[in-house]
Amino acid sequence: MSPDDLGFAYRFEPGTDAARPPLLLLHGTGGDEDDLLPLGRAVAPGAALLSPRGRVLEHGMPRFFRRLSEGVFDEDSLRSEAAALAGFVRSARARHGLAAPVALGFSNGANIAAALLLLHPGLLRGAALLRAMVPLRQPSAVDLGGTSVLLLSGAADPIVPAPNSAALARQLEGAGAAVTHRALPLGHGLSQMDVTLARGWLDAFRPPQQGGTQDER
């Protein structure tokens, strides 16, 4: 749908499995609100899917924040767009009756998801970060205790150096997140290995099917 009072163009697919937390799908550079829907359906069948389109354009390609060059982020843009995206998530939760989501982001979308964790703790129940980089040079101290993070990096990724993804894992662990980091024998693109690992992680993340309300931290 087009941008409205929530501020982002987005797609929403209601869930059919109440035991699964909703997924916040965050595309890479040049993607849009339709881009990760097939991946979301594959890794979390039955989950509600909330998929916004990044509001920043780079040579006509949607992104979630500006960058100064490859791998060099405009942190003012990153912080302001992360704040806008956090507001969107809160408003979309109220509109669609959603629990706190788990983010599933690829590349630029994984970077904004990591920024949401560090700038807006408690907004997300967890995050699967596919080919993410350290988003902020000096983030403020936050408490991510109780937040689970899956970080899938590519050992042959020409965009994200291995030390950078390792530094992101340490940064999130230092904030108290439970981080599972896997360096895959891949480049920057996604593969079936990513799908399999993300699905297994999300299946384990799924709360027990029993009475009571879900935690919406």
SS3 204: helix
Q: Which of 51, 107, 148, 165 is catalytic?
A: 107
2 has catalytic annotation: no
157 has catalytic annotation: yes
51 has catalytic annotation: no
C-alpha distances out from residue 130 to 83, 149, 210, Å: 21, 11, 31
Element (H, E) at 115: helix 108-119
The beta-strand segments (E) located in 44-122 are: 49-52, 56-58, 61-63, 67-69, 72-73, 102-106
Q: Which of 51, 157, 165, 194 is catalytic?
A: 157
Q: Which of 96, 120, 181, 188 is catalytic?
A: 188
Look up residue 113 and give its DSSP letter.
H
C-alpha distances out from residue 161 to 70, 129, 214, Å: 12, 15, 37
Q: Which residues participate in catalysis according to the annotation?
A: 107, 157, 188
